[in-house]
Every structure is written in structure tokens, then in C-alpha cells.
Structure 1
């Protein structure tokens, strides 16, 4: 059984993908503890996975704020010792590295949360970590931020680090969404043969076919014939002025006032966005109706199952969806990692598990 820890769990897209990867690999996986600073995200996790151990709501949990949580607390709640976790995963907030943000990188407090992820990995010493972020992270400060993170992981004992840039649309998600996955293995573990997953979906050719694989999934595939009674499917109420404006937009066009795109029915969507805490999730405009997508419609573009219910107010729900990793993209990435970690002897040079008392004292400070 693989034991893992989830940081910045959010709407749970990364973890749902891990669940599916483990199921399809016939491997048992045990999420020992997860955390998030968002109360609504923690409510979502408890609502859908009530048996999970979630850091954030108990006394001494600091509201799930990783800046204040030391790794000793995480290990205690996970009932694990140093070097005993197989995997630590997480997608630190990415807005400070996004091309749509101000790209301040580590000058932005959200960027510094990436360094907190590195700290937890250094102190917990899992066999492997997976850190996800926007592809723009690689180019911030002409690559200096990316190199800084790689250097810090190397100093922490993760000499074998892989960087994969993948687009969710190439794996059956009806959305263009490029993401970078940084995957690291503890010193002594060989990673020969571990390569990015091959694309399985491709753009159609001139006559709508593709002989090299499946054709991109599009908006039609997930918004057509939606069942009645789905959770998180309440429509936003727009003013007559906004509805009139949206009615005049052709599919694929952008509204000049609120800069929102109208989806094209027979194409994948653009990247589902988060928006600010003041503006909600900034959802797309429906292809045929003069309104924003519902939370459930946006969740379908991300590939969330219909029975995954999002808690919180509507803005909270949109943000959980927009911040998430598409579960299917997570699945194709983590399935290969799970296969590697469960082979008979992936790390013949691994030291006998020992408790490092000095490190425990340091983490407890």
C-alpha cells in the first residue's frame, strides 16, 4: 500500500486522479492526511470523503495555513515517521506565476507557498513528490524561479527531478490547459525509463478526422444533454443589459466589457480560470444561452465526476473548480509514478528507516 500526503488539496482534482490511477493499476493507496487553507475546500473534502484526515479545523491546525504548520504536525496527523511516506503531492497557488497574473513569482506571498512545499518535502523526506503549477512558472524571471526550486529540491536530497509540461486537451479533457509537473525522487532511486505519458487525443485534420489517435474532446461532449438535478448547477442571474450583450456575441468571441469568452460548441474550451476573490470564478459564457456557465458545467470542462459536490458559496465553488488539476490529467501522470513506486525494487540502495531526532527538533520549533 502506498501512503501519501496531499498539500493544497483544494477541490481535490489531483487526488481524484490519484484515486483513479491507483484503481486502474490495482494498487491500494492510502491518503494519510490532506490540508488546505480554504474552509470551503475542506468542507468539500469532508462532504465527499468524510473519513479523511483533514488538517485545518482542529485547534492547533492554524486554519490549514502551511506558513504556520510545521512538518512534525503533518507527520503526527498522518501517523508516519520521516522517510515513511511514499508520496507528497500538491499544487501551490499559481497566480503569481501565471501569464494572466502579475508574474511577481516569489515576490508574491502566493509564490512563497511553493517554497513551503519544498520545506515540507525536505523535512518529511518522502520517496517521491509531485508538484503541479502553471506552465508559465518555467519562464518567470527568465527561468530563475524554476531553477531556484530545482536547486532547493536537490539540496533536500532529491537528485533525480523530472519536469513534464503537459496539456490536458491531449488526454481527453475538453479544455486547453497547459501545466507543469515537477516530480522528484529521493537520493538513491533510479528513474530510468520514467517518461511523460504519450498524448492520446489530437486536433482533427481538415475533414474532421485524425488517424493518429482520438480527436480532441470538445464543449459539446460535456454540455450536451446534461441530466437534471445535478448539484452545483444553479444559474447566475444576469441583468437584461448583460444578457443582451451576451446574445450578440458569436461563439468564440470575447465580451469587451467583462472580457469573458463565449465557448465554441465544437471546440475544446480555453483554460477554466479562477478570477479574483471579488470577481468569483470568471466562468465562460454558454455557447447558446446568454449566461455564464454554472459551477457544474465548469466542473465538467475540468473532468470532475457529477457526484463530486462542491461546498461553500458560489464564488467558493467556482474557485475550487478553476484552481483544480483536471482529475484525468492527474490520473495519467500519477499512474506512471504509482507503477514506478510499486515495482519490486525501485530503490535497492535505500537506507534503513531511521528517525532523525535533530530534524524532528527542528520541525517542532
Structure 2
């Protein structure tokens, strides 16, 4: 088997979920990581510190990042101009930032694409456009764009989907790439999470395709008979982790016997650390939040659970009204005052708000808001708490040797849950990126082999 390793530059790298998968494949060296978030970039650096050649990092808005600087940094890591194998990133297209294109950009050394003026009309497309400009300058053999599925339907100039059409047009017409686009479910690649992502893969060295699926819905007998493995469940992912301490990362660095017994194949593959991992701690929650999640059954929606609780309350209200000869309204008020009715269940929330994970299914999408239980299905299946950073990381397929550094300056700071969840929720699941990495490596093998043959 070939031992050749290929080069990767990652923009919008965050904490490094994509690059973790690429290095885990054993086929890539990460040369560069670029992002604007300090703690995320610190985490990226920490977890790549022991690479064969640790990557350079640049904390700078990509729109202000000079291409000559990128070339220089890559050269320092042994990647000469024109030699980059893979460039990857997920440029937001929702107009998150208010920074406008500046004179430095306008006077830059980038060729203007045929679709440039169309995208340039709307400042919300700055990040997408700049990412393509950098790709034009670096000319990687493969370009991978990862984003939310909604990117494919993103409205532009009054028509849904036109943004992605322009991106494909520029990749094919202006840059000469062959492009494949698909919405993939991360669960189909062994990630214990029903997370859908839009993936663009562009190749300048031949045909392009998506990596083959490895897993499928276990209820689909056709998929199971085809040889796919069943989706990885929440139980597979986190049931071997012990109850977490409150507020302190006191288990981190402890002995491996802190793990539970009989791990699943997935959990066993995640146990890459010589010690028990960091970031497994919980926080205190307001009593009103605990009063809600104690009533929630695993895997159920807010709509289902609130309807069930209201029916239960209505029976109690009717019983009290009859027994004490009072009105329905007064009986409800009395039961609320006595703490026997939780008025929260009469409110309308997002369908997955305050809901519990189900042991026997993959998680729903883990987001940057996973620290807030009202934002989605982020509560433990049984315990009176939300998931920890480590549990969220497992559900994102980060192996246990990956440490989330929650301070810009201190690599031992692993306790700021909000900061950690932000990194985890915004990351590309490493197991998905590992599948992409292995797929691209095989295509690069073929490319370089044919180049040698014809030389």
C-alpha cells in the first residue's frame, strides 16, 4: 500500500474537524488552517501539534488575507505554488458578517470570474466569492466545499438556487474543474448523527464522485442486505462514558478504567487517548429547565410531549374542579400554584426543543447551541442534564484524543462549555471528512501514477 501523503489547506477551519478526518485517514498532511475565531484556532493548533509537520495557522478574515501570504505560508510547509493537492472549506453564504469588500480586495491580484460581478453585487456573498478567488490562486487538484443543505437553495437575484448555480458555473467555466454536488447524511458514513450537509467536490485531475456510503437506515432491509452497516446509535456513541462532574474537568487525564465496560465498536474506535479524555463535565441548569426535561421521554418531540402533558393536566384539572366545586380556570390556577402543573407545556416551542436523545437512534444535528436545552435535542437520554462537550464530540465522531481548548491562551483550559459547544457544533464530523479524504487519496494515487507513466 502506498505511503504517499498529500497536502491539505483548510479555510474556515474552526477547531479542525475536517483536518482531523484527513489526518486520521493516514493519507494527508495539513499544511494550513485559517479562521477568525481564537479559541477554535488554538484548538486546531493543539490537536495538530504532533503531526509529522505541524500546520501553519493564520487568524485573519479570509477577505483581508493576501494571497501572497498564503503562498508563502504553504511554501514554508513544503507546498510550492501550484502543488497543493486539496483545498477545503465551508464559506457561509448567509451574510453573517457586515464586513464589506474593501479597496485592498478591489486592487488584489485575483482574476475576475465571469460570475464575479453577479456575486459581487451582494455583500452577503463575500465569503463564498473570496473562497473561490483563493482557489483560483492556489489551483488545488481537488476543491471541497462543505455547507448546510440550504446553500443549494439559497436565493440570489430573486431566484432560489441561483447562488449554487453560479458557484458551479465559476468552478467549471472559469477554473476548469469537473464538479459533483450532493446532499449527504453523515449517518450514512458512520457518524452517530442525522446531520445533512451539502458537499461540492471539484477536480482538476479527472472524474469526480462522492465517497461510497458505509452505513444505512437499519429499518431498510434493502440497504442492510446490500452490505451496509446499520447507523451508529447514541448508545453506541456515548453509553460507555461515566456520569460527568459538575463544573470541573476532573476526569480528564484520569485512568482509562473510568470508561464503562463492553464498549461498542464505535466507542472502541473513539478511545484513542492513553488517558480518559478531557471536556467531560456538566453545568448546573435552572430549575424550570429541569422541570421540563424530567417529563420528556427519549426520542420524542416537543409537540408530542406537550400534548401528552396537557392531556394529563386536563384530567387533573377536571378532577380537582369536580372535587372542590370550582371552575376549570380556578382549578388550573390552583394546581399551577401547587406545582402540579408546569405551564411551560402549554407553550409552543420548536419541535425538538427540550427533547431527549434516544439511545437506539442517531442524534439529531448537534449545533453550536447544544449548550441550551431549549434549542434542540441536546438532553441526555436518562440523566437530568444536557450532553457534555465530550458526548457532543462523540456524536460528531471526534475521537477522545481530540481536546477542545476553551481559552485563547491556556491549552489546559477545557471547561468553558459554551465555547466548546460552539466549536463542536460548527465542525465537520471527522468520520465524514475521513471518508472524503480516503476517496480523494485513491483518486490522487491514480492521478500521480498516470503522470509517472506518461512522463
Match of 1:291 among 385, 393, 398: 385
Shift of 1:237: 0.8
- Please state how far the C-alpha of 1:199 moved relative to its aligned partner: 2.2
Q: Distance in 1 between matches of 2:220 and 2:22?
A: 36
Structure-2 residue corresponding to 1:220: 235
Mean Cα deviation higher: 282-291 or 239-248? 282-291
Q: What is the alpha-carbon distance in structure 2 between the residues aligned to residue 298 and residue 205 of structure 1?
A: 25
Contact 2:180 2:210 in 1 (8 A): no
Matched, 1:3 2:7: yes
Q: In the TM superposition, what is the alpha-carbon distance from 1:293 to its structure 2 partner?
A: 0.8
Which stretches in structure 2 are left out of the alignment for 5+ residues? 97-118, 243-257, 259-275, 303-347, 407-415
Alpha-carbon RMSD across the aligned residues, in angstroms, is 3.1
Normalising by the residue count of structure 2, what TM-score does the alignment of the two structures yield?
Answer: 0.65
Residue 338 of structure 1 and its aligned partner are, at CA, apart by 1.1
Which residue number corresponds to residue 300 of structure 1? 394
1:71 counterpart residue number:
67
Provide Cα deviations, 1:263-283, integer angstroms capped at 9, x if missing partner: 111111111112399999867
Q: Is the 8 A contact 2:23 2:29 kept in 1?
A: no
Indicate the structure whose relative CO is greater, using CA pairs within 8 Å and at least 6 residues apart: 1
What's the CA shift string for 1:221-247, capped at 9, x where partnerless?
Answer: 112121545311110210222111110
Indicate conservation of the 8 Å contact 1:284/1:293, yes or no. yes
Match of 1:163 in 2: 181
Number of matched pairs: 327
8 Å contact kept, 1:218–1:267: yes
Structure showing greater Rg? 2
- How far apart in 2 are the matches of 1:206 and 1:71? 48
Picking from 247, 262, 267, the partner of 2:356 is 262
- Residue aligned with 2:212, SS: coil
Structure 2 residue 56 is matched with structure 1 residue 41: no
CA distance in 2 between counterparts of 1:90 and 1:5 reads: 9
Q: How far off its partner does 1:171 sit?
A: 1.5
User: Greater CA deviation, 268-277 or 133-142?
Assistant: 268-277
- Of Structure 1 and Structure 2, which has the larger fraction of its residues in helix? 2
Q: Secondary structure at the match of 1:46?
A: helix
Where do 5+ consecutive residues of structure 1 fail to align?
Answer: 57-62, 98-104, 353-365
Give the whole-Å Cα distance in 1 for the aligned partners of 2:153 and 2:172: 20
| 1:231 matched to 2:227 | no
1:122 aligns with 2:136: yes
Does structure 1 residue 136 correspond to structure 2 residue 167?
A: no
Residue correspondence of structure 1 range 46-61 to structure 2 within 5 A: 46-50=45-49, 52-56=54-58
Q: Secondary structure at the match of 2:394?
A: helix
State how far apart, in whole Å, the 2-side matches of 1:236 and 1:305 are.
22
Give the whole-Å Cα distance in 1 for the aligned partners of 2:237 and 2:231.
Answer: 12
